[in-house]
Structure 1
């Protein structure tokens, strides 16, 4: 079991944790990413602003955390290239934790993805 854990740590590089940010388009995923990483990822009040996977990092106490900002997606039935990027990443299980950001003003639609 110890060898398994050591191999897993080696695959991560210097990061203690990888967190993916997922959710519907235009719900605040990139704003959350910017707040944690200090990177000024472009944001906008319309869907489709993030069309590629973006990576950043931040420190939590003494640990380095890798943060992944994924394009918006309504379901795992991808109908566009940016939705495929998100679906494939989520199904790859590369992330240790997935934060599903929802827009409280459109809660019913956002919870469909949950």
Structure 2
């Protein structure tokens, strides 16, 4: 899915995990966010520039799984399988980690490059959750985990940097050594 951009990232996650807020912060858009499942049924895309690169962001519908029973699941799954994103940023609600990690694991099983945007960490801390991001990353096979409070803009620059760093690392891993 290249439209004259250097990178394409997909934003995936459960409904109300903050995907559209992350999308708006990254792209400068003003997509309306909703507090009910099914708010984003079609995928939306926008762009931003970072470190001289033009990056397309695709905001997928909120879904709890990739089982492909609902319209949201079908749209999200089809883009992940056919859209060839350079990286999938899974936006996770830190205050409801267990339920949100199910989708992360399903996306990892597709063998796609994944970053976890651990969003709403302020709310998680308010209710007494302490999340060790290094431990979480290790438990997910080394997937980078970025702490965020997207509604306040916290973690957005770190996410942008992580996207660039991770895609560069993935590119190096996929580039075969020259035959001498």
Under TM normalisation by the shorter chain, which class is it?
Answer: 0.7 to 0.9
Q: 1:15-47 CA deviation, whole Å, 9 max, x = no partner?
A: 110000001111000000000111111101221
Greater percentage in helix: 2
SS in 2 for 1:51: coil
Kindly indicate whether structure 1 or structure 2 has the higher relative contact order, using CA contacts under 8 Å at least 6 residues apart. Answer: 1
Counterpart in the other structure of 2:39: 49
Please give the alpha-carbon distance, in whole angstroms, between the structure 2 residues aligned to 1:13 and 1:30: 21
- Worse overlay, 21-30 or 42-51: 42-51
Counterpart in the other structure of 1:108: 98
Please give the alpha-carbon distance, in whole angstroms, between the structure 2 residues aligned to 1:30 and 1:91: 21
- Worse overlay, 59-68 or 74-83: 74-83
Matches within 5 A, 1:1-114: 12-114=2-104
TM-score normalised according to structure 2 size: 0.55
Please give the alpha-carbon distance, in whole angstroms, between the structure 1 residues aligned to 2:103 and 2:26: 23
Q: 1:46-70 CA deviation, whole Å, 9 max, x = no partner?
A: 2111110001000012110000000
- Worse overlay, 94-103 or 39-48: 39-48
- How many residues align? The count is 104
Gaps of 5+ in 2: 105-180
